[in-house]
Structure 1
Amino acid sequence: MSGVGIGQRPENRRQRAVKALWTGIWLVYLSAPVSDLLHGGHAFGVQVLGWTGLVAFVVWYMLLLFRTGRGDRTNLVLGSLAVLAAQSTVLALTLGREWLVLFVYVSIASGAALPLSMARWTIPGASALMTVLALVVPEGTSFIGALLIPALLGGFAMTGVRELIRTTVALREARATVAQLAANEERLRLARDLHDLLGHSLSLITLKSELAGRMLPAQPDEAAQQVADIEQVSRQALVDVREAVTGYRRPRLAAELAGAKVALSAAGVVAELPGEPDLTGVPEDSEAALAWALREAVTNVVRHSGARRCVVELLDRQTLDGAVLELSVEDDGSGGPGPGPGPANDPGNGLTGLTERLEKAGGALEAGRIRQGFRLVARVPAGSSTDVGTDVGSGA
């Protein structure tokens, strides 16, 4: 960042140079006191004191503006403003009306260095003190109109600019936070996708590898077929991972049903699966969420359950909230993430990610042990009423 805003302390040499240049431009309005010292006919001693006082005022004013920020103590800022006001008062009473312009700088410094809750009092206070001195200093009343409005407007303008800069900084920080959250969400999505994709594919590869190993001595042809299946699954897993990384993959429920039949059959599990569903009108997010749910459920059946039978049902239900598509996967195994019926008490990464997927699609997940096995139920909004077909067919 090349510049630094009002109310912010410069953090490097470039910022200090930019702020010094910007602040120094406005010192041109001190030409009245300078002209008074050069052409006002003051004695040499008075000129020396006047130059000393003017230089001290400018140095103190610049230090106050440059030290503002990073949690400065309000009492210190108020004390610095009091010093500036005292210098202005002494110089105006001693050298004349031209020095009343110093109160404009006191007012501006108040707006730049103090929070609005205090600046709204100190700015009128500096302006009022200038007005009183203008009534006391010879011919000072002619300067009231020319200095009072700049003092008030300049001071409150600084408060507005300072608050605007703070708001801009806050918005930039909020934008950076949103970007970080988006990046975290994308990493979480990718982690879920890779877990679901690789968990299913690697489980199937492991099962087919074991099966090929058992067949190899006596059944080389069948073993070769299993190896070919392994190659096909590996290639598909590679494609799925690439699509997941690029964020374009949307699993289809029909494809997952076909894959579930292959995986369950390879594991020696008797599968009862519905026919190809008609998902006309079902939102893509809902279908993708159910497809992920089916993949995760079948992967858990194959890897953890030790089941001999698995039943998959797909139902279209009408609820008070509208049509709901319900996927149920039930097995008779002994494994499962949680004890007892009802929601799982200790879900793994797969069920946790699946819950998040379903919630994003507006659905919900129930998973838990039943009397003889484990049951997972995923529900998503079905959009318009659909005819998904509830007939269950058997597979090997």
Structure 2
Amino acid sequence: MSGAGTGQRPDNRRQKLVKSLWTGIWLVYLSAPVTDLLHGGHGTGVTVLGWLGLAVFVAWYWALVLRTGRGEADGLVLGSLAVLAAQSAVLSLTLGRQWLVLFVYVSIASGAALPLRTARWSIPAVSALMAALALTVPGGREYLGGLLVPAFLGGFAMTGVRELVRTTIALREARATVAQLAANEERLRLARDLHDLLGHSLSLITLKSELAGRMLPGQPEKAAQQVADIENVSRQALVDVREAVSGYRRPRLSGELAGARVALTAADVVADLPAGPGPGELAEDSESALAWALREAVTNVVRHSGARRCTVELIHRETLDGPVLELSVEDDGSGGSGKGPGNGLSGLAERLEKAGGTLDAGRSRHGFRLVARVPSAAAPEPAEGRGGRRTTP
């Protein structure tokens, strides 16, 4: 999220600018008071005071909305809203019905700046005050219907938007916590598995080492046999550890697709991603190779392309060598430095070749395109059965 939302404090200059522009858009509805000052036939003194009052109102309203989320006490915010309501009342009573629109801004500021428990009564109170003044100001009845609904619904709509932003922030924090807990659990599981794998082997190596030490120098042949057993146990332990670590490090295409969405979104790149392959469609080596290809392609998009959009497709194709699953990653960026394939793409091509696949990468009409193909272990389902994938002969 590039800008600060309602109920969220802007943390940098860009967020302050975005929020200021978003807040400034709604000031267009002050055209009624501005028109009244320009063409209402007021005297010079009244007009000057009117402009001054409108400027103070806008400045106070703007400061209140921009400071939303800084943790001020409800009393300070309520005091600021009371000042805005008093300004609106004075300007409406002295300058006419066109100034009743200021109460809409007071109601919206209540929804944006106050917690829900307080806004539930402050918004109706502001709407009621506006209705009472509309009945008092000459011609105000004609404006009441057009202003009461925006004031009432606009204020509560802002409370909904504010709660939605806060809920989204809480969900993001919870997701980060879950990811951290999952990583910790994975490390603990790996530690347990390595302990189980190595505990027996190391105990056996220790035992045979002690036996070999006791057999020397009186029984050199039996000691040599124990040393040979130690070598065999050590080699098998090394194989077990490599298999365990390889299994933990083997990437899955579904996980890489989820990671790609997070990375592209964080880089402000619009991501168009498919669903992952179904179970049994790919051998482990083929799926791992495609997952590495997707990771490398997305990394290049984020770091080097300057793209604004990235499209990923999984396409089933029938070839002379049998069915293949094709991964296509295309962006609308600059296409990189243009100095030829780097170490990442070269290593990726070798990885795909070991899995029986191929790699094509180069500039496209819109930017840069990477295509990785691996053998498909199972016949694909119909295109309508899987969102984001299609079968191409």
2:228 is aligned to 228
Deviation for aligned residue 1:228: 1.5
> After superposition, where does 1:144-155 map in structure 2 within 5 Å?
144-155=144-155
Partner SS state of residue 172, structure 2: helix
In 2: Cα distance, 1:246 partner to 1:41 partner: 83
More displaced 10-residue stretch of structure 1: 100-109 or 209-218: 209-218
Deviation for aligned residue 1:232: 1.4
In 1: Cα distance, 2:237 partner to 2:245 partner: 12
Deviation for aligned residue 1:248: 6.2
> After superposition, where does 1:1-396 map in structure 2 within 5 Å?
1-247=1-247
Query: Gaps (5+ residues) in structure 2?
Result: 250-393
Deviation for aligned residue 1:60: 0.7
In 1: Cα distance, 2:51 partner to 2:221 partner: 105
CA deviation profile, 1:18-51 (whole Å, cap 9, x unmatched): 1111111111000111111111111111111111
Normalised by the size of structure 2, how large is the TM-score?
A: 0.61
In 1: Cα distance, 2:246 partner to 2:227 partner: 29
Deviation for aligned residue 1:185: 0.6
Deviation for aligned residue 1:67: 1.1
Aligned partner of 1:174: which letter? A
Q: Residues 70, 243 of structure 1: CA spacing in aligned structure 2 closer, same or farther, 3 A cutoff?
A: farther
In 2: Cα distance, 1:136 partner to 1:97 partner: 9
Q: How many residues align?
A: 249
In 2: Cα distance, 1:114 partner to 1:224 partner: 82
CA deviation profile, 1:333-392 (whole Å, cap 9, x unmatched): xxxxxxxxxxxxxxxxxxxxxxxxxxxxxxxxxxxxxxxxxxxxxxxxxxxxxxxxxxxx
Q: Which has the larger radius of gyration?
A: 1
Partner SS state of residue 78, structure 2: helix
Q: Residues 67, 248 of structure 1: CA spacing in aligned structure 2 closer, same or farther, 3 A cutoff?
A: closer
CA deviation profile, 1:59-109 (whole Å, cap 9, x unmatched): 111111111114221111111100110110111111111100000000000
2:260 is aligned to none
Partner SS state of residue 15, structure 1: helix
Aligned partner of 2:241: which letter? V
The list of structure 1 runs, each at least 4 consecutive aligned residues, that deviate by more than 3 angstroms after superposition, is: 246-249
Q: Residues 239, 130 of structure 1: CA spacing in aligned structure 2 closer, same or farther, 3 A cutoff?
A: same
In 2: Cα distance, 1:75 partner to 1:63 partner: 16
Deviation for aligned residue 1:150: 0.6
In 2: Cα distance, 1:164 partner to 1:148 partner: 24
Deviation for aligned residue 1:179: 0.8
Deviation for aligned residue 1:247: 4.3
In 2: Cα distance, 1:137 partner to 1:182 partner: 64
In 2: Cα distance, 1:154 partner to 1:71 partner: 23
Aligned partner of 2:198: which letter? L
In 2: Cα distance, 1:248 partner to 1:176 partner: 21
In 1: Cα distance, 2:180 partner to 2:246 partner: 19
Partner SS state of residue 245, structure 1: helix
Aligned partner of 2:41: which letter? G
Query: Gaps (5+ residues) in structure 1?
Result: 250-396
Aligned partner of 2:63: which letter? L
Greater relative contact order, per chain length (Cα 8 Å cut-off, separation 6+): 1
In 2: Cα distance, 1:31 partner to 1:167 partner: 35
In 2: Cα distance, 1:248 partner to 1:2 partner: 35
In 1: Cα distance, 2:142 partner to 2:238 partner: 85
Partner SS state of residue 61, structure 1: helix
1:329 is aligned to none
CA deviation profile, 1:114-162 (whole Å, cap 9, x unmatched): 1111111111111111111111111111100110011011011111111
Partner SS state of residue 8, structure 2: coil
More displaced 10-residue stretch of structure 1: 91-100 or 240-249: 240-249
Partner SS state of residue 36, structure 1: helix
1:303 is aligned to none
Aligned partner of 1:66: which letter? L
Q: Residues 178, 248 of structure 1: CA spacing in aligned structure 2 closer, same or farther, 3 A cutoff?
A: closer
CA deviation profile, 1:246-277 (whole Å, cap 9, x unmatched): 4469xxxxxxxxxxxxxxxxxxxxxxxxxxxx
In 2: Cα distance, 1:26 partner to 1:248 partner: 53
Aligned partner of 2:207: which letter? L
Deviation for aligned residue 1:207: 1.4
In 2: Cα distance, 1:181 partner to 1:247 partner: 20
Aligned partner of 2:115: which letter? P
In 1: Cα distance, 2:81 partner to 2:152 partner: 16
Aligned partner of 2:65: which letter? L
